[in-house]
Amino acid sequence: MEQIPRNLLSTILAMLLCFTSYSTIALAGEGPDEVVIDSLAQLYEPVIFDHAMHEEVTESNCAVCHHHTLGTKIEDENCLRCHAESGGTDEISCQGCHAGNRFEAEYLNRIDADNTLFHRDKVGLKAAFHIRCMNCHEEMGVANGCQDCHVRTDAGDKFFHAGHYAPPKSDKPTSGGH
């Protein structure tokens, strides 16, 4: 029963996010309260990310998670080597830079054809989420298991041969090997 309104809410939020463009300088606390991360959801339910809570935790320093915030200049010395004159950044969303189709031929060929491109080893969207979130969660000593953030779907259970699809328990040692 509870499921339906929640899904509705997430859909609305996701749609809102898709059509929201940030054009002004983002100040601390101006970020969204909640972000539904569902662009890659198949095996797991979408993540409902409590953005407001994370702003509190990071004391509204956007760069803790995002590399920079909107309209401000980049501070990382490594980045400044090329981006000293780049001016304020106009992209803040993860998927604005991290590709969802990281290993598809189209993306790989585009990188390959562009000799001027420095960011050849930029992780895709899924890895950007997982590396950023999990590394921090581990440092902070908070919940870090797969299903602590996103509950597995039925397709996911099937994929992992878990839940309803778990193999019958047996004491026999697993066969195979050489």
Judged on CB neighbours under 10 Å (0-12, 13-18, 19+), 52 is: middle
In whole angstroms, the minimum distance from the beta carbon of 80 to another protein comes to: 15
Strands 34-37 and 47-50: antiparallel
In whole angstroms, the minimum distance from the beta carbon of 128 to another protein comes to: 8
Neighbours of 64 (CB within 10 A): 14
Backbone angles phi, psi at 152, to 5 degrees: -70, 140
Q: Is 87 left (phi over 0), alpha (psi -120 to 50) or beta?
A: left
Residues between 94 and 123 with contacts to another protein, criterion CB under 8 A: 102-105, 108, 112, 120-121, 123
Structure tokens at 21: 């463009």
Residues between 122 and 161 with contacts to another protein, criterion CB under 8 A: 123-124, 126-127, 130-131, 134, 146, 159-161
In whole angstroms, the minimum distance from the beta carbon of 159 to another protein comes to: 5
Residues between 16 and 75 with contacts to another protein, criterion CB under 8 A: none
Using CA atoms, how far apart are residues 36 and 16, in angstroms rounded to an integer? 10
For another protein, the closer of residues 5 and 173 by Cβ is 173
Using CA atoms, how far apart are residues 32 and 97, in angstroms rounded to an integer? 19
For another protein, the closer of residues 60 and 95 by Cβ is 95
**How many residues belong to the site for another protein (CB under 8 A)?**
31
Using CA atoms, how far apart are residues 132 and 31, in angstroms rounded to an integer? 18
In whole angstroms, the minimum distance from the beta carbon of 69 to another protein comes to: 23
For another protein, the closer of residues 70 and 99 by Cβ is 99
In whole angstroms, the minimum distance from the beta carbon of 20 to another protein comes to: 26
Structure tokens at 158: 């099937």
Which residues would be at the binding site for another protein (CB under 8 A)? 78, 102-105, 108, 112, 120-121, 123-124, 126-127, 130-131, 134, 146, 159-162, 165-167, 170, 172, 174-178
